[in-house]
Structure 1
């Protein structure tokens, strides 16, 4: 893993290095999942910091081991949100400690392209990714309950949310939460693009499956098209502003997060 971090981190923008440098405290070391990390510690524009040990993001957690169950219990992760589609989640059900509050939020996920459709979509470069991020249609239905749980979660509990790779749907949720907490966009982008590194252990298998029947050049083009970049989050926020005028109006209208709720989130999740 250290070799992977070194080789890829050298190619990342400067703002991403600080996020990766704290991986020893940010990453949750479980055997059955990758990209499992704490979103705590990020500084806000007014000098506060997101609390550690309260909110976690991850990739697929269907293969967590018994030892991993102990890790979740020790971290008081008693609430889990799953952004995958219905069929997607049924194919690989979450493996969680008994008594965990689990909620599936599949809005928009069942209409995502399969591997063959993605191969076709990748012929247009990253246009499909930009269109996916720039369309706010499913953001409200997918993330309203996410913010509701954040606002009502007991103070002695933590939550984890995930999709399959823990990068796109999970990354969008993280970006919206950090935005609401007042974290600078540069830091939000760093957290987002760090998945390019944290997901390397699963990318080899994923690209092998998706690239079946493709030439090496086509596989490389697909990798480049799927790489997470700040432009994708910029497309998401631009799409929100185009349809709602401001991000704040969107959050109040679609997520139930107005000024009162933003103040509550800051009181609950910032030091």
Structure 2
């Protein structure tokens, strides 16, 4: 699929956040913020494209258990590599969702299974706001994005939709992009991954034919209600997104000004 003016066959939901408008009439500068899934399945042609994008810094939001079971990232050049694991193995949602994705035994996840995968996904987004590990990882990623030495900045998790999606929400909102535009970019994942999700769903159901197809869809898609849960947690804990940026992530006025200076046209 074509994303903007470039394509990554092995990462179909990869995209440049450049061009998105802010409330004050500016736009995110193209080629500065690039969101992707993990890069282990890039083709040789993809590597040529990645070489043109020339990320100076690659932020990986996965933890060791995820990288150990995935093909190594394929990169070009010598970008700075920063690991910021946003994952809590003790969180029941992570355990349940991981078991669904990997085809593991769901024993011990009875309560999560009863509530359903969509509810688990929503709780995950709430944890993005409330969890100390999540706040630390997202806060550091924002600081990296504000430093021009790290630009272009490429950031990813595994599928490039949830942790990557929330970090994109944080960065775009800090830059002054309105919520409707932020939501539209978040939801693009579904349109960009129709074929990939079909293949993944079929593979998951072959491994575990007893799985409800709706459970699989809930895990592989992004949905407005997942983002709603994150925004609701922001309001519940902080009152507003600006307060969450300031109090939850330590985004000072000076840091926000640096983001706008280096990332907006």
Which category of TM-score, normalised to the shorter sequence, fits these structures? Answer: 0.7 to 0.9
Give the alignment's TM-score, normalised by structure 1.
0.81
Aligned position for 1:104: 83
Residue 122 (structure 1) shift: 5.0
**Distance in 1, Cα, partners of 2:220 & 2:43:** 29
Aligned position for 1:147: 142
Aligned position for 1:12: none
Q: Report SS of the residue matched to 1:134.
A: helix
Q: Report SS of the residue matched to 2:9.
A: coil
Gaps of 5+ in 2: none
Q: Using the TM superposition, name which of 244-253 and 113-122 deviates more.
A: 113-122
Q: Summarize the Cα distance change of 1:110–1:223 in structure 2 as closer, same or farther, 3 Å threshold.
A: same
Aligned partner of 1:183 among 177, 186, 189:
177
Residue 262 (structure 1) shift: 1.2
Cα RMSD between the aligned structures? 2.4
Aligned position for 2:67: 89
Q: Tell me, yes or no, if structure 1 residue 248 matches structure 2 residue 242.
A: yes
Instruction: Give the conservation status (yes or no) of the 8 Å contact 2:3–2:14.
Output: no
Residue 52 (structure 1) shift: 0.7
Q: Summarize the Cα distance change of 1:65–1:94 in structure 2 as closer, same or farther, 3 Å threshold.
A: same
Superposed CA offset, 1:28-68 (max 9, x none): 31233221110111111111111111110111201223433
Q: Report SS of the residue matched to 1:154.
A: helix
Instruction: Give the conservation status (yes or no) of the 8 Å contact 1:84–1:109.
Output: no
Gaps of 5+ in 1: 2-22
Residue 232 (structure 1) shift: 1.6
Q: Report SS of the residue matched to 2:40.
A: coil
Aligned partner of 2:31 among 50, 53, 73:
53
Aligned position for 1:192: 186
**Distance in 2, Cα, partners of 1:221 & 1:32:** 25
Aligned position for 2:223: 229
Q: Summarize the Cα distance change of 1:221–1:144 in structure 2 as closer, same or farther, 3 Å threshold.
A: closer
Q: Tell me, yes or no, if structure 1 residue 62 matches structure 2 residue 40.
A: yes
Residue 221 (structure 1) shift: 4.8
